[in-house]
Amino acid sequence: MKYKTTNHTYLDFFNNDEFVIGIGSIQKIVSDEIFFQGMLDLCHFCISEKELYEIRDFMKKNNISEEVLSIALTNNFIAHYHIDFQDQYSRNHLYYSVLGYDIKKVQDKISNSHILVIGAGGIGNIVSYFSSVIGVKKITVIDDDIVERSNLNRQFLFREKDVHSYKVDVIKRELSKLRNDCDIFVIKEKLDKKIIYDLDNIDLVICSADDDYCVELINEYCCIKKIPLINVGYLNDISVIGPFYIPKLPNSCCLCCDKSIYLENNIKNEKVNDLKANMKAPSTVVNNFFSGAMLGSEMIKLFAEDYDAITSLNAVIGIHNKDFQLEKIDLVKNKNCQFCGGDVYE
């Protein structure tokens, strides 16, 4: 098996006494010059592919410690895979490599997945596009809405000529231009129980709908079918994702374990109801794309089965768009939840 220095590997001098190893979240500043020089020599030697015995011979001749090789392999500075930069997904593969994931394993999982997207608005545009460009095998989008001129400020798959067309039809048309090997199935109807229960072989459900009734319906479906589900949206200028329900994890709470996050109560007040009816949340590229980016990151971690790194597991995460303040509401699985508690659907 041959090893080669990966394309995300970065080594440099920070100053005369300190050195940079790695970049991004794996970056470290070290002061051990011998360690840095060993890493630099090793990575430089492996710019062209080398067998492991060649690497060890080189290390022995140059007094490079096993620790250097171990760290190089752990951080994917040196790896046995090769990224084909003519490949459609090569830049995605670089990203997976930086995160320390097995590129083939992640891509195989993605390429055999069926994602269900509820809602074809701003976030529905983003997640449909994202799913397509990472190589998802099948994408199903449900929405009965039509394109309006006011959508064009953030729903980037739509054009002026699409006003009055069904959103899902336009999404299918645009995604088909990106890939001819992606199966795109659209349902231009209002979500109901029959529609969703007729669907099968779903690997992930993303709820970006802005109708209150959708959450409980989709949540019940995912709990029964044991399908991962994540809610994504925004509260005015706070972009929000979570909780991410992953049924195979015994302590993962569903979207309805703690309904306090939806600000529901039984108090009836006419003035409050009138104000709620009058409210219209702002929707821009900013709050939509923040949510979409967080969602994309969590999706990759799911495909990599890196569950410990999923930030929205048992949590609602919000990013304030104005000052980038991060807000997190931790949740605990409700063992008596009518949807996911105990053995409700066993």
Starting from the edge strand earliest in sequence, which strands make up the sheet with 183-187, in order?
Answer: 183-187, 138-142, 114-118, 204-207, 229-235, 238-245, 315-320, 326-330
27 burial type by CB count under 10 A (0-12 exposed, 13-18 middle, 19+ buried): exposed
Query: According to the model, what pLDDT value does residue 23 have?
Result: 82
Residues comprising the chain, all counted? 346
Query: According to the model, what pLDDT value does residue 344 have?
Result: 58
Instruction: State pTM to two decimals.
Output: 0.90
Q: Which one-letter amino acid corresponds to residue 68?
A: V
Give the C-alpha separation, 13 to 292, whole Å: 36
Query: According to the model, what pLDDT value does residue 15 have?
Result: 96
Query: According to the model, what pLDDT value does residue 264 have?
Result: 62
Query: According to the model, what pLDDT value does residue 276 have?
Result: 79
Three-state SS for 273? helix
Locate 31 and state its tokens. Answer: 């002061």
Give the C-alpha separation, 256 to 240, whole Å: 16
234 backbone dihedrals φ, ψ, rounded to 5° = -160, 150
Query: According to the model, what pLDDT value does residue 189 have?
Result: 95
Query: According to the model, what pLDDT value does residue 17 have?
Result: 96
Query: According to the model, what pLDDT value does residue 263 have?
Result: 54
Query: According to the model, what pLDDT value does residue 260 have?
Result: 63
Query: According to the model, what pLDDT value does residue 211 have?
Result: 72
Distances (CA, A) of 129 to 64, 139, 170, 257: 46, 10, 12, 30
Helix, strand, coil shares, percent, the chain, to 5: 40, 20, 40
Per-domain residue ranges of the chain: 2-88, 113-330
Query: According to the model, what pLDDT value does residue 114 have?
Result: 99
CATH top class, domain 113-330: alpha beta
- Fold of the domain built from segment(s) 2-88: Outer Surface Protein A; domain 3 (3.90.930)
Query: According to the model, what pLDDT value does residue 280 have?
Result: 83
Q: Could you say which residues of the chain have pLDDT below 70?
A: 210, 260-265, 342-346
In DSSP terms, which residues pair with 215 in a beta bridge? none
Torsion sign, CA atoms 167, 168, 174, 178: positive
Query: According to the model, what pLDDT value does residue 273 have?
Result: 85
The yes-or-no answer to whether 2-88 and 113-330 have a common fold is: no
